[in-house]
Structure 1
Amino acid sequence: MTTMQKSLAEFLGTFWLVFGGCGSAVISAAFPEVGIGLLGVSLAFGLTVVTMAYAIGHISGCHLNPAVTIGLWMGGRFPAQEIPVYIVSQVAGAILASAALYLIASGNADYNLAVNGLASNGVAEHSPGGFSMGSGIAIEVLLTFFFLMIILGATDGRAPAGFAPLAIGLGLTLIHLISIPITNTSVNPARSTGPALIEGGIALSQLWVFWVAPIAGAVLAGIVYKVMGGSAKDVPSTDG
């Protein structure tokens, strides 16, 4: 595949991840009478990953996440020269998805960006459950580490073929079930960037946390998986 084809796949895939995942959270929070709750939002994020992994995994690997791209590089699965174009495409997709979500949500008179937001990530006073910055950083590092371990393992050439998207999607669902109350769940700098740029304010000022912590966890996972004897040969579909 050409770089342009991979970039377009990552752009569209990340758009779907943010629009589907954050969209479910925005509607659920803003309109509780039709809300789907913690379980529904968690499942929505997992489903975006599963569907896109099958749709574009054979084109770009379906990273949808700068931390995944960097973690795969650290694990010996991805060339360094392609990292910038992947990350730019992922962030662009996330921003456009957030803008589209805001446009659609604002069509309801009861929606208010300052009150309802766009499912941005946060710690301390911006944490859904009031968890400290230390707790938020710790959970983001830890969960991104295990997310990358799932991805690296499920896409290893020695793993059962065809099940990687399901393992990765279910892993992301579990991650959201654990950490939505703590940080609203990032493990993905692009997913955090889109809503933060539209919301501004504290979401934007805390955005650095959701770049530093997930990338740290991903890098650590890449190192650990190689130490464990991870294969450099992988199946086409990965994700984030």
Structure 2
Amino acid sequence: MNLVKRSIAELIGTFWLVFGGCGSAVLAAAFPYGEGSNPLGIGLVGVSLAFGLTVLTMAYAVGPISGGHFNPAVSFGLWAAKRFPGGELLPYIAAQVVGAIAASTVLFIIASGRVGFEMTGSNPFATNGFGVHSPGGYSLFACLITEVLLTFMFLMVILGATDRRAPQGFAPIAIGLALTLIHLISIPVTNTSVNPARSTGPAIFAGVELFQQVWLFWVAPILGALVAGFFYLNFFDDSTSTKTPEDDALVSEKLA
């Protein structure tokens, strides 16, 4: 599959991740809107599941085409583990960011169609933040550690589940559940990023102050992913056996 088609698959997958995950937070987390009781809203657990389901469904849908990254940090982590060529990082990341911005644009159009919709609160429009923009008021350092650690663990799951020695066909389930768990842990801390593209899209619509915090959600996830990639390559990679091109192709086939 050529690079253009794979990049389009990444764009679509990232669009679905941001629209489904952030859309659940913006449109469905608290419903009916403005009422003290919340009989229908999906809340933190529902939003966490939504993010996991977006990755699971798109990993099966377009993962066999592009590898199912949907996340610049994942692309960097796979590159560090020598499972992805460095020359394709820029096209993949560009496609992911465009997909995230497109999803945020559509979501903003839908959300602003409700009478009374406003960008209010410390984390409007499902944005990520630290300090006063952390849902729980967590410090910059606490948010940095959280994002680095959780992205590290996310990449460890991805690398293990797509290892040629792992059972085939189950990787999207493990990866989707891992992202669900990550959100259950860290929504109160950073509103959960572990994905620079996911952070960038909503922040564009949330105002300058929140957009100025996006740097953390590029630096921390990419750092965590790079450490995971190098760690897995040097400690867990099956370097003692002879590999063939067919073995390397199994990374994508795990998502089929």
CA radius of gyration, larger in? 2
Residue in 2 that maps onto 1:122 = 129
Q: How does 1:50-65 map to 2 (within 5 A)?
A: 50-65=56-71
Matched, 1:235 2:241: no
Residue in 1 that maps onto 2:187 = 180
Question: Contact (CA 8 Å) 2:131, 2:139: kept in 1 or not?
Answer: yes
In structure 2, distance between residues paired with 1:193 and 1:214 = 13
The counterpart of 2:79, out of the listed 34, 52, 73, is 73
What's the CA shift string for 1:185-233, capped at 9, x where partnerless? 0000000000011112221010000000000000000011012132483
Compared with structure 1, are the counterparts of its residues 202 and 29 closer, same or farther at alpha carbon in structure 2 (3 Å cutoff)? farther
- Offset of residue 143 of structure 1: 0.1
Question: Contact (CA 8 Å) 2:134, 2:188: kept in 1 or not?
Answer: yes
Question: Contact (CA 8 Å) 1:137, 1:213: kept in 2 or not?
Answer: yes
Residue in 2 that maps onto 1:194 = 201
Residue in 1 that maps onto 2:15 = 15
Residue in 1 that maps onto 2:99 = 93
In structure 2, distance between residues paired with 1:221 and 1:12 = 26
- Offset of residue 171 of structure 1: 0.2
Alpha-carbon RMSD across the aligned residues, in angstroms, is 1.5
Residue identity matched to 1:139 = T
Matched, 1:207 2:223: no
Q: What is the TM-score of this pair, normalised by structure 1?
A: 0.96
Question: Contact (CA 8 Å) 1:151, 1:238: kept in 2 or not?
Answer: no
Choose 193-202 or 205-214, whichever is displaced more: 193-202
The counterpart of 2:163, out of the listed 141, 144, 156, is 156
Q: Which structure is higher in RCO with an 8 Å CA cutoff and minimum separation 6? A: 1
- Offset of residue 166 of structure 1: 0.1
Residue-pair matches, total:
239
Residue identity matched to 1:100 = V
In structure 2, distance between residues paired with 1:20 and 1:228 = 35
In structure 2, distance between residues paired with 1:97 and 1:143 = 24
Q: What is the TM-score of this pair, normalised by structure 2?
A: 0.90
Segments of structure 2 that go 5 or more residues without pairing to the other structure are none
In structure 2, distance between residues paired with 1:7 and 1:111 = 34
SS at match of 2:9: helix
Compared with structure 1, are the counterparts of its residues 238 and 84 closer, same or farther at alpha carbon in structure 2 (3 Å cutoff)? farther
The counterpart of 2:144, out of the listed 129, 137, 143, is 137
In structure 2, distance between residues paired with 1:237 and 1:55 = 12
Question: Contact (CA 8 Å) 1:53, 1:237: kept in 2 or not?
Answer: no
Question: Contact (CA 8 Å) 1:62, 1:237: kept in 2 or not?
Answer: no
SS at match of 2:62: helix
In structure 1, distance between residues paired with 2:253 and 2:72 = 16
- Offset of residue 113 of structure 1: 2.3
In structure 2, distance between residues paired with 1:229 and 1:44 = 31
Choose 105-114 or 36-45, whichever is displaced more: 105-114
Choose 106-115 or 179-188, whichever is displaced more: 106-115
In structure 2, distance between residues paired with 1:230 and 1:39 = 34
Residue in 1 that maps onto 2:50 = 44
Residue identity matched to 1:117 = P
- Offset of residue 34 of structure 1: 3.3
Compared with structure 1, are the counterparts of its residues 140 and 198 closer, same or farther at alpha carbon in structure 2 (3 Å cutoff)? same
The counterpart of 2:90, out of the listed 84, 109, 116, is 84
SS at match of 1:174: helix
In structure 2, distance between residues paired with 1:55 and 1:103 = 26
Residue identity matched to 2:21 = G
Compared with structure 1, are the counterparts of its residues 19 and 228 closer, same or farther at alpha carbon in structure 2 (3 Å cutoff)? same
In structure 2, distance between residues paired with 1:177 and 1:129 = 13
What's the CA shift string for 1:65-101, capped at 9, x where partnerless? 0000000000010000000000000000000100110
